[in-house]
C-alpha cells in the first residue's frame, strides 16, 4: 500500500491518472476564473497595475499548461489531451471576457458616481431689509419676499432633487418649502447662521465706534463678537455638518441634493470647497438664487473640492441677460 498521495497517484493506471488531470484542470481554471473576476475590479480602478496583473496571469497560465501537459501515447489519451487543451482554451477565453466585462462595469459605475449639489439663499427678512446683523434670531420672511420666491419658482426651472437640507430657522425652512414643495425638508442644526453675539440686530453704522467691531471686521479667524463665535468656530461648525451630509449622500447613493441656507453659510462653503477658488465676497447672490456644484468622488476624496458649474436655477449667461 503506498504511503503518500504522490506514490498512490503514480501507481494508478495511466487512464485514471489522465482523468484526474482533467478534473484538476477544470477545478483550477474554475477557481482562477472566479479569482480573476475579482482581481479585474481592482485592476479597473488601479490602471497602473493592470499590465502587471495581466503579465503575471499569463505567466501563471503558461506555467500551469507546462506542468499539466502530457504527451498522448494512444487514441484514448490523445482525445483526453485534446479535451484538456479545449477546456484550457475555453477558460482562458472566458476569463479574458470576464476581466473585460468587469473593467467595463467598474468604469461605468465610477462614471455614474458623480453628485450634484445646489446651494440656494433664503428669502429676505425685515432685518435684512434694515441692513441689520441677523444671525440666529429666528425672524420670518417678509410677505414681499414670500411672493418673490413664489414668482421665481413659477418663472424658473428649479431642479428636481432627491433631498433638501436646510437650517432650522424659519427663513430657511419657509424658503425651502416654497422652492422645493415636493420634498420633505431635512433640518441640520449646525447650518444655522453665524452667532453675532452682541452685534446681533445692530447695523454697521451703529457699531462703527465699537472697538470689538473694528477688530472683528479685520477678518482674523480667532476674532469674534462679544459672546458670539469666532470665525474659525463658525467655519468648522458649518464645514463639519456639510461633510457629514456629503458622506451620507455618497453612502446612500443620493446623487442630487439642495441646501437652502443663509448667506454666511453659503459663502463659507463655497470659499472652502468651491473650484475655482474665490474670496468669500465673490460668492454673494440674491435671495432665491444660488449655485450648481458638481461633486466628483475622486476629487472630493483627494482634495475636498467641488467644481462650481454654474449659477442656479438658471445659468450665468441667462442670468446676465435677465439683469440687462
What does the pLDDT read at residue 318?
Answer: 80
Mark whether 134 and 275 lie in a shared domain: yes
Question: In degrees to the nearest 10, what's the CA dihedral of 38, 42, 43, 47?
Answer: 170
Mark whether 283 and 141 lie in a shared domain: yes
Mark whether 123 and 64 lie in a shared domain: no
Closest among 295, 293, 267 to 280, alpha carbons compared: 267
Mark whether 198 and 105 lie in a shared domain: no
What does the pLDDT read at residue 61?
Answer: 46
What does the pLDDT read at residue 25?
Answer: 62
Closest among 145, 154, 160, 162 to 249, alpha carbons compared: 162
Mark whether 179 and 317 lie in a shared domain: yes
- The number of C-alpha atoms within 13 Å of 172 and in the hemisphere containing its C-beta is 32
Helix (H/G/I), strand (E/B), else coil: 309: strand
Q: What is the pTM of this model?
A: 0.67
**Considering 66, 82, 111, which residue would you say is the last residue of a domain?**
111
Length of the chain in residues, anyone? Answer: 324
What does the pLDDT read at residue 316?
Answer: 86
Mark whether 99 and 121 lie in a shared domain: no
Domain total of the chain: 2
**Considering 93, 111, 129, which residue would you say is the last residue of a domain?**
111
What does the pLDDT read at residue 60?
Answer: 44
We report the CATH number of the domain holding residue 138 as 3.40.50.1240
CA 252 to chain centre: 10
Any idea which residue has 460668492 for its cell? 283
Mark whether 72 and 154 lie in a shared domain: no
Closest among 275, 244, 276, 267 to 257, alpha carbons compared: 244
The residue range of the domain holding 22 is: 5-111
Q: How far apart are the first and last CA of the chain?
A: 100
Residue pLDDT tens, the chain, 324 long: 555 554 544 455 555 555 556 566 666 666 665 665 555 555 444 444 444 444 444 444 444 444 444 444 455 555 555 565 555 565 566 655 555 555 554 445 444 578 999 999 999 999 999 999 999 999 999 999 999 999 999 999 999 999 999 999 999 999 999 999 999 999 999 999 999 999 999 999 999 999 999 999 998 999 999 999 999 999 999 999 999 999 999 889 899 999 999 999 999 999 999 999 999 999 999 999 999 999 999 899 999 999 999 999 999 888 766 655
Mark whether 185 and 294 lie in a shared domain: yes
**Considering 87, 111, 135, which residue would you say is the last residue of a domain?**
111
CB 198 within 8 A of CB 228: yes
Q: What separation in angstroms does the CA of 75 have from each of 11, 78, 89, 175, 225? A: 22, 5, 21, 85, 96
Mark whether 196 and 162 lie in a shared domain: yes
Mark whether 179 and 313 lie in a shared domain: yes
Mark whether 218 and 151 lie in a shared domain: yes
Characterize 62-100 residue by residue with b for buried, 16 or more Cβ atoms within 10 angstroms of its Cβ, and e for exposed.
eebeeeeeeeeeeeebeebbeebeeebeebbeebeebbe
Q: Which residues pair with 312 in a beta bridge?
A: 290
DSSP strands (E only) in 146-201:
163-166, 185-187
Mark whether 144 and 223 lie in a shared domain: yes
Amino acid at each position: 500500500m503506498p504511503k503518500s498521495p504522490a506514490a498512490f497517484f503514480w501507481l494508478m493506471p495511466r487512464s485514471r491518472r489522465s482523468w484526474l488531470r482533467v478534473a484538476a484542470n477544470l477545478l483550477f481554471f474554475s477557481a482562477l476564473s472566479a479569482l480573476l473576476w475579482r482581481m479585474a475590479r481592482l485592476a479597473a480602478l488601479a490602471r497602473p497595475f493592470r499590465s502587471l496583473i495581466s503579465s503575471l496571469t499569463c505567466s501563471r497560465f503558461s506555467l500551469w499548461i507546462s506542468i499539466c501537459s502530457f504527451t498522448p501515447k494512444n487514441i484514448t489519451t490523445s482525445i483526453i489531451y485534446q479535451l484538456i487543451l479545449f477546456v484550457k482554451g475555453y477558460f482562458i477565453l472566458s476569463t479574458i471576457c470576464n476581466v473585460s466585462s468587469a473593467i467595463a462595469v467598474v468604469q461605468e459605475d465610477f462614471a455614474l458616481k458623480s453628485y450634484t449639489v445646489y446651494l440656494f439663499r433664503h428669502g429676505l427678512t425685515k432685518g435684512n431689509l434694515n441692513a441689520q446683523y441677523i444671525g440666529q434670531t429666528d425672524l420670518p420672511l417678509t410677505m414681499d419676499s414670500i411672493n418673490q420666491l413664489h414668482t421665481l419658482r413659477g418663472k424658473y426651472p428649479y431642479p428636481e432633487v432627491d433631498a433638501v437640507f436646510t437650517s432650522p430657522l424659519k427663513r430657511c425652512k419657509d424658503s425651502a418649502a416654497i422652492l422645493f414643495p415636493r420634498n420633505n425638508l431635512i433640518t441640520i442644526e449646525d447650518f444655522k447662521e453665524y452667532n453675532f453675539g452682541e452685534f446681533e440686530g445692530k447695523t454697521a453704522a451703529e457699531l462703527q465706534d465699537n472697538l470689538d467691531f473694528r477688530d472683528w471686521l479685520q477678518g482674523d479667524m480667532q476674532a469674534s463678537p462679544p459672546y458670539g463665535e469666532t470665525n474659525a468656530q463658525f467655519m468648522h461648525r458649518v464645514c463639519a455638518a456639510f461633510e457629514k451630509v456629503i458622506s451620507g449622500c455618497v453612502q446612500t447613493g443620493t446623487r442630487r441634493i439642495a441646501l437652502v441656507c443663509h448667506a454666511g453659510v453659503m459663502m463659507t462653503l463655497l470659499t472652502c470647497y468651491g473650484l475655482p477658488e474665490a474670496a468669500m465676497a465673490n460668492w454673494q447672490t440674491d435671495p432665491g438664487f444660488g449655485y450648481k456644484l458638481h461633486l466628483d468622488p475622486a476629487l472630493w476624496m483627494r482634495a475636498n473640492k467641488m467644481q462650481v458649474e454654474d449659477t442656479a436655477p438658471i445659468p450665468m449667461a441667462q442670468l446676465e441677460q435677465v439683469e440687462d
